[in-house]
Chains A and B, each alone.
Chain A
Amino acid sequence: MQNKARIYTVSQVNLLVKVALEERLPSRLTVRGEISDWKLHKESGHCYFSLKDEDGILPCVMWASSCRSVKFSPEDGMAVLATGHIDVYVAGGKYQLYVERIEPEGVGALQLAFEQMVKKLAAEGLFDEARKKPLPEYPMRIGILTSESGAAIEDIKDSIWNRWPCTRLFLYPVPVQGEGAAQKIAAALRDVNRRNSKLSLEVLIVGRGGGSPEDLWAFNEEVLARAIYDSRIPVISAVGHEIDTTIADLVADARASTPTKAGVVAVPDMQEVLGRLAAIEGRLAGEITAGLELAGQRLQTLLASSVFRNPLLPVRNREQELDELQTALTGSVREMLTRAQRKLTESYEQVRKIEPHRLLGRKMVELNNWQNLANSGIKGIINSCRMKLTAAANRLAALNPKSVLQRGYSITTNRKTGLVVRGLGDVEIGDSLITELASENLIESKVTNKVKS
Chain B
Amino acid sequence: MADKKQKNDISKMSFEEAIKELTSIVGKIEQGQIPLQDSLEQYERGMALIKHCRGILQQAEKRIEKISELEEKSKEQDG
Using CB atoms and an 8 Å cutoff, list the residues of chain A in contact with chain B. Answer: 136-138, 140, 143-144, 153, 157, 161, 165-173, 188, 191-192, 195, 199, 270, 273-274, 277, 280-281, 283-285, 287-288, 291-292, 295
B43 & A167 in contact (Cβ 8 Å cutoff): no
B60 & A165 in contact (Cβ 8 Å cutoff): yes
Given A137-B16, A138-B16, A287-B39, does the pair A274, B54 have CB atoms closer than 8 Å?
yes
A287 & B67 in contact (Cβ 8 Å cutoff): no
Nearest neighbor of A173 in chain B, beta-carbon distance: B68
Bound Cα distance A195, B26 (Å): 38
Bound Cα distance A274, B59 (Å): 13
Q: Return chain B residues, CB-CB under 8 Å to A169.
A: 61, 64-65
Say which residue of B39, B46, B67 sits within 8 Å of A280 (CB atoms).
B46
Nearest neighbor of A287 in chain B, beta-carbon distance: B29
A288 & B40 in contact (Cβ 8 Å cutoff): yes
Q: Check if B1 is an interface residue, CB within 8 A of chain A.
A: no
Q: Return chain B residues, CB-CB under 8 Å to A166.
A: 56-61
Given A140-B15, A166-B59, A166-B60, does the pair A280, B50 have CB atoms closer than 8 Å?
yes
Nearest neighbor of B31 in chain A, beta-carbon distance: A287
Please, what's the 1-or-0 string for B59-77, where 1 marks a CB less than 8 Å from any CB in chain A?
Answer: 1110011111100100000
B64 & A277 in contact (Cβ 8 Å cutoff): no
Bound Cα distance A144, B59 (Å): 20
- Please name 29 pairs of A and B residues whose Cβ atoms are closer than 8 Å in the assembled complex, sorted by A: A136-B16, A138-B19, A140-B56, A144-B64, A153-B64, A157-B64, A165-B61, A166-B57, A168-B61, A169-B61, A171-B64, A171-B67, A172-B67, A192-B67, A270-B57, A277-B50, A277-B53, A280-B22, A280-B26, A284-B46, A284-B47, A285-B43, A287-B26, A287-B30, A287-B43, A288-B29, A291-B36, A291-B39, A292-B36
Q: Return chain A residues, CB-CB under 8 Å to B66.
A: 170-173
Bound Cα distance A348, B46 (Å): 96
Using CB atoms and an 8 Å cutoff, list the residues of chain B in contact with chain A. Answer: 14-16, 19, 22-23, 25-26, 29-30, 32, 36, 39-40, 43, 46-47, 50, 53-54, 56-61, 64-69, 72
B16 & A284 in contact (Cβ 8 Å cutoff): no
Q: Return chain A residues, CB-CB under 8 Å to B14.
A: 138, 140
Bound Cα distance A136, B20 (Å): 13
Q: Return chain A residues, CB-CB under 8 Å to B59.
A: 166
- 4 further A-B contacts with Cβ under 8 Å, apart from A168-B61, A270-B57, are A166-B58, A287-B26, A288-B40, A295-B36
Say which residue of B47, B61, B68 sits within 8 Å of A281 (CB atoms).
B47
B15 & A138 in contact (Cβ 8 Å cutoff): yes
Q: Return chain A residues, CB-CB under 8 Å to B57.
A: 166, 270, 273-274
Q: Return chain A residues, CB-CB under 8 Å to B72.
A: 195
Q: Return chain B residues, CB-CB under 8 Å to A170.
A: 64-67
Bound Cα distance A291, B50 (Å): 20
User: Nearest-CB distance from B44 to chain A (Å)?
Assistant: 10
Q: Return chain B residues, CB-CB under 8 Å to A285.
A: 43
Bound Cα distance A184, B61 (Å): 28
Bound Cα distance A161, B64 (Å): 11
Bound Cα distance A157, B61 (Å): 11
User: Nearest-CB distance from A405 to chain B (Å)?
Assistant: 130
Q: Return chain B residues, CB-CB under 8 Å to A192.
A: 67
Q: Return chain B residues, CB-CB under 8 Å to A136.
A: 16
Say which residue of B23, B53, B61 sits within 8 Å of A167 (CB atoms).
B61
A281 & B50 in contact (Cβ 8 Å cutoff): yes
Q: Return chain A residues, CB-CB under 8 Å to B46.
A: 280-281, 284
User: Nearest-CB distance from A367 to chain B (Å)?
Assistant: 99
Say which residue of A143, A172, A188, A288 sits within 8 Å of B43 (CB atoms).
A288
Given A281-B50, A284-B43, A295-B36, does the pair A172, B61 have CB atoms closer than 8 Å?
no
Bound Cα distance A291, B64 (Å): 48
Bound Cα distance A453, B14 (Å): 166
Nearest neighbor of B63 in chain A, beta-carbon distance: A169
Q: Return chain B residues, CB-CB under 8 Å to A270.
A: 57
Q: Return chain A residues, CB-CB under 8 Å to B58.
A: 166
Nearest neighbor of B65 in chain A, beta-carbon distance: A170
